[in-house]
Amino acid sequence: MLVKWIRCTVVDRRGFERGQRKWAGLLGEPGFRGQGGGWSRRRPDVAHVFAFWESRAFYDSFMARSHDRLAATQAGTFKDAQVKLFDHRFDVKTGFEPRFADADVARVAHSRVHEERAEHFALMQEKVWNPAMAGSPGMLRGLFGEAPGHEFLVLSMWNSAAEHGKYRVERIERLGLRAQTAADVAALSGDVVQLEPAWAV
């Protein structure tokens, strides 16, 4: 599965949201699995959108044919768009499905990892972080994705911001030491996204 993550700064909120609803047109596209997103809880003008495709080939075909027509409705409503594509490597918890209806927030963590530490980082994600996250009350599902250049994405969905907050406070520092995250990671950024039900496709 291919995961597309878009982050942008919105300058016309109403226009952006109106355009976001037009992406319902994705539903007939071959290979399309789902899309959703929402607003950053830290920076209210930043929007995140996550889209899921069966494969790169289906995605490339969509980009060549229908993308520009759907995207035209949002022209001029945002700036500084950053788009990244990741290949799904494994699930966090089990059976990831690109559904958004039951989740309140999504947590996105983007890591650029030192080349010689990339396999260790992925292994620690599987052996240390995944079990801790999967065992946290309120964590619904998630995935671990990889992009060229030793970049990794962890996307997790939670049934409430409060539950995610508890996990952060109780576990992050201890788990980070156990997984030797500081030695693996060259750069780390992330956000907590308040999901918008109307954006789900």
The per-residue pLDDT for 95 is 85
User: Domain segments of the chain: what residues?
Assistant: 2-199
Average pLDDT, integer, range 106-123 = 96
Rounded Cα distance between 185 and 129, Å, is 14
Task: Name the strand (E) or helix (H) holding 33.
Answer: strand 32-40
Q: With H, G, I as helix, E, B as strand and everything else as coil, classify residue 148.
A: coil
Q: Which amino acid is at 17?
A: E
Q: How confident is the model at residue 108 (pLDDT cuts 50, 70, 90)?
A: very high
Task: Name the strand (E) or helix (H) holding 178.
Answer: helix 161-178
> What is this structure's pTM?
0.95
Average pLDDT, integer, range 128-132 = 92
The per-residue pLDDT for 104 is 97
The per-residue pLDDT for 173 is 83
Report pLDDT digits (tens) over 133-182.
888 889 999 999 999 999 999 999 999 989 888 887 777 888 989 999 99
Beta strand spans in 93-184 (E): 105-113, 139-147, 151-158
Kindly tell me if the per-residue pLDDT of 36 is higher than 80: yes
The per-residue pLDDT for 171 is 78
The per-residue pLDDT for 174 is 87
Rounded Cα distance between 161 and 4, Å, is 23
CATH number of 2-199: 3.30.70.100
* Phi, psi values for residue 94, rounded to 5°: -130, 155
Rounded Cα distance between 47 and 43, Å, is 9
Average pLDDT, integer, range 81-99 = 94
